[in-house]
Each structure stands twice: as structure tokens, then as C-alpha cells.
Amino acid sequence: MELKVGDKAPLFESKDQQGNTVKLEDYKGKKVILYFYPKDNTKGCTAQACDLRDNYELIQKEGYEVLGVSKDDEKSHQKFIDKFELPFTLIADTDTSVNQLYGVWKEKKMYGKTYMGTVRTTFVIDEEGIITDIITKVKTAEHTNQIITK
């Protein structure tokens, strides 16, 4: 089932970069930017994370919390956070259950090979847990503008 604007955001539970349990329901009453990205320390993913980092004050001023999700493990996430001084939580979805829940774990093709992977997607969720925007054509270096100017 494909999620759409107006749907209730699926609840999940996973681990953050420090191994702490993170639940979407812990953010009830807050607006959430839930962004799915393929891999820590790759060009596009780094550009996206750094754009969100560089605009984090504005994002918080607008009332948002940021949660990044990838298949990388906690250790990889912590290194990514340390290297680029990321001020937000990264979720280790090593079993891809959160990716699958949000419908972003899909077949991809690169260099003639087909494989399963994360399709870069951002879900904007309101205080009531309703999806208010889904960004599928992510501009990594200017992602904050795509979120905030809507």
C-alpha cells in the first residue's frame, strides 16, 4: 500500500545511533521530518544531511524534529554524525522494517544491475501524526527549502 498525504504515519520502533529505542509515538504533539536516505557518507546523502544541519535552527524554529533513516547500523550512524556534526537523530533500520513500512524499500537499478534499496523520500508529519507532505524528488543540497517553503 502506497502512503499518501492525509494518511496516518505508520508507527515504528527502532534504534538510534547510540542504540537507544526511538518510537514515532514519542514525537506525538511535534512536527516531524522523517527522511529516508540510502547510505551514510555517500555524496548525495551527505549533501542532504548537511543541508538539514545547516538549516537546523530554521527547521526547529518552524517546530520540526528531524529523524533520518537508513539501513546503516548504529556505529555507522554515529561516525556520520561525528564527521559532519549532525544535530539530529539517525535511525538504524538494519532489517529495513521501517523502510518497508513507509514503502521506500524498492527495486532499484544501477549500472545494469537490479537490487533492493532505499528510495530517497521525505515524509513531513504533523503534530497529530498525519502525513502532510511526501517529497520523492529530493534535491539533496537544498532539501530544507523543499520542506519549509511548502
Confidence of residue 1 (pLDDT cuts 50, 70, 90): low
Q: Tell me, yes or no, if the pTM score tops 0.75.
A: yes
Per residue in 22-33, pLDDT tens?
999 999 999 999
In a domain, 89, yes or no: yes
Q: How many domains does the chain have?
A: 1
CATH number at residue 74: 3.40.30.10
Q: Which residues are catalytic?
A: 45
Q: What is the pLDDT of residue 76?
A: 97
The letter for the amino acid at 55 is N
In a domain, 5, yes or no: no
Residue 96: give the domain boundaries. 13-148
- The 3-state secondary structure of 90-150 reads EEECCCCHHHHHCCCEEEEEECCEEEEEECCEEEEECCCCEEEEEECCCCHHHHHHHHHCC
Per residue in 38-83, pLDDT tens?
999 999 999 999 999 999 999 999 999 999 999 999 999 999 999 9
Per residue in 81-90, pLDDT tens?
999 999 999 9
